[in-house]
Structure 1
Amino acid sequence: MGKYKSNTIRKALWRIWIIALFTPIWAYAESHSYDGILNELDEVIARKHEYRAKHEQTIAQLKQQLVAETDNAEKYKLCGELFKLYLHYQADSALHYVEEKQKYASAVSDEGVETTLIINRADAMGVMGAYNEALTELKKINRQSITPELLLSYYYALRTYYGWMADYTIVNEEKQKYIEKTACYRDSVLLLVPEGASKSISLAEKMILDSQAEQAIPILNKALSEPLDMREKAYVNYTLALVYETKNDVDMQIYYLAQTAILDLTASVREYASLQKLARVLYQQGNIERAYEYLSCSMEDAVACNARLRFLEVTEYYPIIDQAYSEKEVQEKRMGWILFLTVSILAVALVILALYLYHGMKNLSLVRQHLSLTNGQLKAVNEKLEQTGKIKEVYIARYLDRCVSYLNKLEQYRRSLEKLAMASRIEELFKAIRSEQFLRDERKNFYTEFDKSFLELFPNFIEDFNNLLTDDAQIYPKPNELLNTELRIFALIRLGVTDANSIAHFLGYSLATVYNYRSKIRNKAKGDKENFEQEVMKL
């Protein structure tokens, strides 16, 4: 009955431990190849305010120069610089500096000034989501009368406009129409754009749409190997992310989206698509916490930039991820309670087990008492058999103790005589008393008596002791000795004197000397070196 009860408790405890160890954990613990780049991105987001502060400082310096400048042509250039700094950072401010450029346009002799202003205005309006207004501006341009350089900018503006419209439109027929328009103006860009990163990006985009994503990878990798500014690097990395999205390679897509986001945030760009797209992909991968953080950062930047399309993109997914994040927090709390209850149950089970073991120990104690009575009877018989041996061992122990005590007294007596001699200045007495010959002789005689007594009790000790050693390590006393130092140390161990301090005191050696002898001989043992001294005590 007791055995059955013990097995039942043991099985129950195993069930509890299995539940505790194998309960599904909600943490996103899977390791991926892109973990390193995501950690780097997390650090950049944490330092976002530092990059923004530097960007604001650059803007403030240009504004101060603009206020101090008296030449309208230079003011035009400064407004152009401010427009570029604000375009993807704060779109309404970018539009403001387009209007400021307009004020100083008459001071610039370039005939393409008006066309440049229209394109700038359309770009700012596009970022702000004023698509109809942007297209109205672009329609003012007569492309037959502008330079090839401005024509390229014009095609870029229209390609960007129709790309925005394709992203913004939810009606499939309209979306397809805008996609075709985007492709048309992309082809126009490819006719005019010189060799470089911009051409590689446009060509790669065309290849993606033509289901030739694989051929776009070497083109973009080559572009990355060339000297590029941060915006060009960002565009190339984002296009690579689109390529790997087409190939359904999620790891590489995440990697290049993260690279793009790092470049965007480091350059203080707040109108971007990389981070919110990365958030959506991570959400689909189950990394809800990072998805929530990235989407929150994207929303904050889209609002600050007044980028309508980016804000709409974020708000499309934000409720879904926000709800998932909230559910994750609820699940974490629930799992915390489950773990708390599991630990509590384990604690109760351990208390029950402890009580059960205590009860079992009490029963075992009773059994031991019965065994003790039986052992007592057996010991009485054994004591009679061992009495003779014990008498010998006790006699030797007392004998040795008295001898050592006698030697100590003689040493103390010699020192007291030495002090008297020094006090009385009797030089001859002092020399005689300081002589150690008497003590050496007495110690020698003492060891001789010890050796004789020991060998009378254990006549085969030397032979038996050497049987425990290797053939090349046999120890025998000299012809005029009964036992040498090594044998005497292990003779004491055979008598039960195993403490190194006691052995050193008995033989008059240092503790280190005794340790060295014991270690040296133990290393020459035939069998187990750790149990060598226990074997000696059995001789």
Structure 2
Amino acid sequence: MKRIIFIAVFAMAFLQGYAQHIDVDSLIGVLKSELKKESTYDLARLNRIGQLRSSLLLADSNSFDAQYDITSKIYEEYSSFKFDSAYVYVKKMIELAERYHRRDQLIESEIHLGYSLYFSGFYKEAFDVIGKIDTSGFTRNQWSDYLTMRARLNQSIADYDNDPFFSKGYYEQSDRDFKSAQVVSPYNEFEKKINLAFLPDSLRHSSLTPDYFFNLIIQQHLTPHRVAMVATHVSSAYKGKDRILFLTLAAIGDIRSSTKETLAIFLLAQELYHMNQTNDAYIFMQAAARNANFYGARNRAVQIESLLPLVAGKVIDEKQHQRDKLLIGFLIFFLVAVVLFFLLFIYRKQMLQIKASEALIKEKNSQLENVNTQLWESSKIKEELIGLFFKTCSSYIETLEKIRQHTLHSIKLKKYNEVNDLMKDIQINEEKESLYNMLDTVFLTMFPNFIASFNALLKTEDQIWPKSGETLNATLRIFALMRLGIHEHEAIAKILDYSVSTVYTYKTRIKSRALVPPNDFEQKIMEIKFIK
């Protein structure tokens, strides 16, 4: 179950991050991040090995199947992790198979031994092992494993010799063995699709891009180790950034599967070195060296040791070049700084004058903006009040006209009692209250936050709020008229039908209870915002 979850997480991480658009630099960033977590993956493998070794101690010593099964699992854990331990356990597998006369398991173990020797660079010993295997009566799977093992061994020797004359025979034998293995065990659908990457450009369909094969690999829900193997294989079909793409994917898979017998990160470092990405090449070459030493891959260690000094030397050269550029840049900067210092010193006074002028201009602009705001606000208030004035006057003129007509008509008919009744029906106080309500409504439309802002200037116990059904009360109306710009006590008294002393008393009482100084209270009232 843990393995299934791990594979799913691995696949999802790539599908979400790279399935649509694959960026090589981002993928290299993932690889660097995984390198920092390498010890965590190694610890997980060591824990699995520890559990298997404990199980082997408890296994029935008379049961071949129990002992062989656990021993083979321990070998599988060590096979790509550490050569010495893998060698010990594959020899135990051979010993068990010989003791119990199990031919199939013996062949399987001997092929595993050949692989272990091949991984560690013991090519001659690997050839000796597979040369002694009795191939008579091989099953199809055994033939396939045997031929694949021999093909890879011949190919590796050819790569190691790296000589046109001596490598040729090994390459030819490797090619024959790979073809024979394919006949014995034909490729499955996934392998057939992967091998399309090796078609010549003239035969390759335009849709078979590196992105296609990248997504094909990560969408198969393979184990990280299998991803690394397939990606390394596909990388040999490409060059440059496309090759780096697959080698980076393979290196990530190797780290996540805690594989130390890995070719991918070495090939990646080599490719980056050839593309002058020296810093990354050095980081990955060091990781490849650690893996080779840990696993015990002598052939790989020799290759790395021959290339690592070149990479390190190039890194040093680049850093020295960067230091030289930095020194030259610093000298240029120093000279420019000296010139600028004198220029700044000469123009200092001019700059100060300019700043002073800018500050004055900003101040004047701010004042002008405030004046414009006040003018605009005053204009809008006047518009509202003039509209209210004409609406009210129009209403009263219409009412007076109706009364006049009705009165004239009653007098003409000598119905003096009706005239008297009509005059009694006119309620001056109600008309005043109606006028005040209309004024309140218009005012609160312009200053909807007036009541809250007004009370914010008073203590909680002294705050004045309209009763239910009221818009503004007497006190609020006095200060509302002040906010409209009417400050004279006589004018306020006439509008509200109060005495001047009453208006003065109201204002004085409120100012004395305010949270701000009395002299600042009216200014705070005038600062209550008009809302369009």
- Structure 1 residue 276 corresponds to structure 2 residue 276: no
- Residue 41 of structure 2 is matched in structure 1 by 51
Alignment of 1:243-282 (within 5 A): 243=237, 245=238, 248=239, 250-282=240-272
Taking structure 1 as reference, are residues 198 and 106 closer, same or farther at Cα in structure 2, changes over 3 Å only? farther
Deviations 1:293-325 (A, max 9, x none): 111001110111111232233234322211111
Instruction: Measure how far apart 1:53 and its partner are.
Output: 1.1
- Structure 1 residue 330 corresponds to structure 2 residue 315: no
CA–CA distance in 1 between the matches of 2:171 and 2:255?
A: 28
Instruction: Measure how far apart 1:34 and its partner are.
Output: 1.8
| TM-score, reference length from structure 2 | 0.60
Stretch of structure 1 that moved more, 252-261 or 336-345:
336-345
- Residue 223 of structure 2 is matched in structure 1 by 229
Instruction: Measure how far apart 1:198 and its partner are.
Output: 7.7
Taking structure 1 as reference, are residues 84 and 230 closer, same or farther at Cα in structure 2, changes over 3 Å only? same
Aligned residues: 373
Deviations 1:35-76 (A, max 9, x none): 221121111100101111111121222222233332351323
Runs of 5+ unmatched residues, structure 2: 1-21, 354-374, 394-480, 489-516
Q: Is contact 2:98-2:106 (8 Å) kept?
A: no
Taking structure 1 as reference, are residues 122 and 355 closer, same or farther at Cα in structure 2, changes over 3 Å only? same
- Structure 1 residue 138 corresponds to structure 2 residue 130: yes
CA–CA distance in 2 between the matches of 1:242 and 1:167?
A: 13
- Residue 116 of structure 1 is matched in structure 2 by 108
Instruction: Measure how far apart 1:155 and its partner are.
Output: 0.8
Q: Is contact 1:201-1:236 (8 Å) kept?
A: no
CA–CA distance in 2 between the matches of 1:259 and 1:289?
A: 19
- Residue 71 of structure 1 is matched in structure 2 by 62
- Residue 526 of structure 2 is matched in structure 1 by 514
CA–CA distance in 1 between the matches of 2:125 and 2:201?
A: 31
- Residue 349 of structure 1 is matched in structure 2 by 339
Instruction: Measure how far apart 1:264 and its partner are.
Output: 0.6
Q: Is contact 1:128-1:309 (8 Å) kept?
A: yes
- Structure 1 residue 87 corresponds to structure 2 residue 87: no
Taking structure 1 as reference, are residues 213 and 307 closer, same or farther at Cα in structure 2, changes over 3 Å only? farther
Instruction: Measure how far apart 1:193 and its partner are.
Output: 2.2
Instruction: Measure how far apart 1:213 and its partner are.
Output: 6.1
- Residue 308 of structure 1 is matched in structure 2 by 298
CA–CA distance in 2 between the matches of 1:111 and 1:198?
A: 32
Q: Percent identity?
A: 18
The amino acid of 2:156's aligned partner reads W
Taking structure 1 as reference, are residues 118 and 198 closer, same or farther at Cα in structure 2, changes over 3 Å only? farther
- Residue 239 of structure 1 is matched in structure 2 by 233
CA–CA distance in 2 between the matches of 1:59 and 1:125?
A: 21
Taking structure 1 as reference, are residues 139 and 199 closer, same or farther at Cα in structure 2, changes over 3 Å only? farther
Runs of 5+ unmatched residues, structure 1: 1-31, 365-464, 492-503, 524-539
SS in structure 1 at match of 2:259 = coil
Q: Is contact 1:204-1:220 (8 Å) kept?
A: no
CA–CA distance in 2 between the matches of 1:335 and 1:106?
A: 68
| TM-score, reference length from structure 1 | 0.59
Taking structure 1 as reference, are residues 508 and 149 closer, same or farther at Cα in structure 2, changes over 3 Å only? closer
Instruction: Measure how far apart 1:228 and its partner are.
Output: 2.6
- Residue 145 of structure 2 is matched in structure 1 by 153
Taking structure 1 as reference, are residues 317 and 213 closer, same or farther at Cα in structure 2, changes over 3 Å only? farther
CA–CA distance in 2 between the matches of 1:316 and 1:114?
A: 38
